[in-house]
Amino acid sequence: MNTPANLRYTKDHEWISIEGNIATVGITDFAQGELGDIVYIDISSKGKALAAEEVFGTIEAVKTVSDLFLPVAGTVTEINPALESEPELINTDPYGQGWIIKLTVSNPADINSLLNAEAYTALVH
């Protein structure tokens, strides 16, 4: 299982990277492995200001549909356009081309309350 040390994680298996007040969010390698083949992403929150842990969309795999939870409060500004035609990018490159959304973070310091790679790895093992 790949868990990059430069990211922060949620107990709901989302990852976040932040530069200034812009964050990129996706699901972890562990989560994509548990879901199996991802076939569809539904994000209807673009332009919306959401609180931390609010649902920002859903991810559909062959066997299940799961909610996606925002790691920190902010406004969704971008949805990965590649996922519309290639949702399987989340399976093949969850920390790269398989990112899901970008958001403007309300308070960048909120990321400090999330799990680091070591704590996330301990959570899933």
pLDDT, tens digit, 9 for 90 and up, residues 6-50: 999 999 999 999 999 999 999 999 999 999 999 999 999 999 999
On the question of pLDDT at 80 being above 90, the answer is: yes
Structure tokens at 49: 């200001």
Phi then psi for 122, rounded to 5 degrees? -65, -35
Provide the number of structural domains found in the chain: 1
pLDDT, tens digit, 9 for 90 and up, residues 46-77: 999 999 999 999 999 998 999 999 999 999 99
The stretch 97-106 carries a mean pLDDT of 97
Q: What is the pLDDT of residue 1?
A: 83
CATH code of residue 32: 2.40.50.100
- Residue range of the domain that includes 91: 8-108
Distance between CA atoms of residues 24 and 38, nearest Å: 19
In a domain, 113, yes or no: no
In a domain, 65, yes or no: yes
